Copies of this chain bind each other. A is one copy, B any other.
Amino acid sequence: MLRISSEQMKATFASILQKEGFSADKAASCANIFTENSRDGVYTHGLNRFPVFVQMVQQGLINPDAEPVLAENNGLIEQWDGKLGPGMLNGKICMDRAMKLAEKHGIGCVAIRNTNHWMRGGTYGWQAADQGYIGICFTNTIANMPPWGGTEPKLGNNPLIIAVPREEGHVALDMAMSQFSFGKLLQYQSEGRALPLAGGYDEDGDLSTNPDEIIDTQRLLPVGFWKGSGLSLMLDLLVTILSSGRSTSDITEAGKEFGISQVFICIKPKDQALCAQLTSQIIDYTKGSKPSDADRPVSYPGEHTLKTRVENTKAGIPVDEKIWAEVQAMLEPR
């Protein structure tokens, strides 16, 4: 398996983005986030997604120069306009701002409209937790999942992120509302493997573990059936209303996933020592459940991410050779 160092990957991404019109600073920030996503094992939103990002820049759907601006205040809730800038940079700025508000008021809430795909939502949860804050954020997406009882995609998989700081490794949940993301389906498909659990429906309307069938029908299964379907709908309502932005309906109507809506909430624990103590107690208790497979102890959200980070930092980041070659070719003059 080909492994690339963080430094090499970052430098490659940054050079390409500068060629695409990004300032040196912004190219470095974006390159850093793509690299960290792959380093943390979220390959679908690291290297593997980089070509799509560049394509969207080339199509004018993402504006490398745009900077988000504060548009309106709803009391302490801030409404920002992302001006169709890179979603990762907008996301970082919003979570930073939510932290500033939380520093002052205990809680901060920033909603942003006209922004773009933030790649891995976990990035912004870890960002808050790294500074000792609780970070909560969620986004809408283009429709990619039918609501429960429906057959046509009319809901986004609208990821929800909740991160709580912890010295030994943050507790960080990053969950999309489909049981498997589209990226995961593609990964299983390219590896010719069946899903470990039903992830959608075949053309007869039966539950299926075959990624080909699910990709054909576009009937991805919501997490927990009607429950994840409902939660996805509520998250679209919240991001759309709070940002006065575009809903999954509007985004899907436009045909391409750009100009989406997101919310960033930050909370400052009042007593850091007590917060740490309660967090440890809860994690230890949960991990104490006797595992069904003796070789696989119960883990907490974020635990595997950290393990992968340590491994990939040491050994280099594993890459899909075809995609890595494709990205390197972008360095050549067109």
CA distance A76 to B75 in the complex (A): 12
Taken together as a complex, chains A and B put the C-alpha atoms of A228 and B224 apart, in Å, by 8
A289 within 8 A of partner (CB) = yes
Stretch from A185-193, A208-216, A270-278 contacting the other chain: A270-278
Chain B positions within 8 Å of A225 at CB level: 179, 197
Decide if A242 touches B267 in the complex (CB within 8 Å): yes
**In the complex, what distance in Å separates the CA atom of A243 from the CA atom of B162?**
17
Q: What residues of B have a CB within 8 angstroms of the CB of A149 in the complex? A: 289, 291-293, 296-299
27 CB contacts below 8 A, A to B, read: A72-B270, A73-B106, A74-B269, A107-B107, A147-B286, A149-B291, A149-B293, A150-B286, A151-B291, A152-B289, A152-B290, A154-B285, A155-B286, A160-B231, A171-B234, A171-B237, A175-B224, A175-B230, A205-B292, A223-B228, A227-B228, A230-B300, A230-B301, A240-B278, A248-B282, A249-B285, A249-B286
Is A238's beta carbon under 8 Å from chain B? yes
Q: Nearest-CB distance from A224 to chain B (Å)? A: 3
Q: Is the CB of A285 within 8 A of B230?
A: no
Q: In angstroms, how far is the closest chain B Cβ from the Cβ of A156?
A: 11
Interface residues of A (CB under 8 A from B): 72-77, 79, 102, 104-107, 109, 134, 146-155, 160, 162, 164, 171, 173, 175, 179, 197, 205, 223-225, 227-228, 230-231, 233-234, 236-238, 240-242, 244, 247-250, 267-271, 274-275, 278-279, 281-282, 285-293, 296-301
Q: Which of B107, B244, B291 contacts A150 (CB 8 A)?
A: B291
CB distance B223 to A298 under 8 Å?
Answer: no
When distances are taken between beta carbons in the complex, the residues of chain B under 8 Å from A106 are 73-77, 109
Whether A268 pairs with B75 at a CB distance below 8 angstroms is yes
Docked Cα-Cα span, A106 to B105, in Å, equals 13
CB distance from A252 to the nearest CB of B (A): 8
Name A103's closest neighbour in chain B (CB-CB).
Answer: B75
Provide the bound-state CA to CA distance between A104 and B250, in Å: 31
Q: How far is the CA of A197 from the CA of B278 in the complex (A)?
A: 35
In the complex, are the beta carbons of B268 and A150 less than 8 A apart?
A: no
- What chain B residues lie within 8 Å of A164 (beta carbons)? 234, 237-238, 241
Minimum C-beta distance from A287 to chain B (A): 8
A289–B147 CB distance below 8 A? yes
**Which of A104, A234, A247, A299 counts the most B-chain CB atoms under 10 A from its CB?**
A234
Q: Give every chain B residue within 8 A of A231 (Cβ-Cβ).
A: 160, 162, 173, 175
CB-based contact B290/A150 at 8 Å: yes
Which residues of chain B are near A292, meaning CB under 8 Å? 149-151, 205
Task: Return A121 CB to nearest CB of chain B, in Å.
Answer: 13
Give A106 to B265 CA distance when docked, in angstroms: 13
Q: How far is the CA of A151 from the CA of B298 in the complex (A)?
A: 10
Docked-complex contact A223 and B227, CB < 8 angstroms = yes
Interface centre among A175, A179, A227, A292 (most CB of B within 10 A): A227
Q: Which of B75, B241, B267 contacts A104 (CB 8 A)?
A: B75
Given contacts A134-B238, A149-B293, 15 further A-B contacts (CB under 8 A): A73-B106, A75-B105, A75-B106, A77-B107, A134-B241, A150-B291, A151-B291, A162-B238, A164-B234, A223-B228, A224-B228, A236-B282, A240-B278, A244-B270, A247-B278
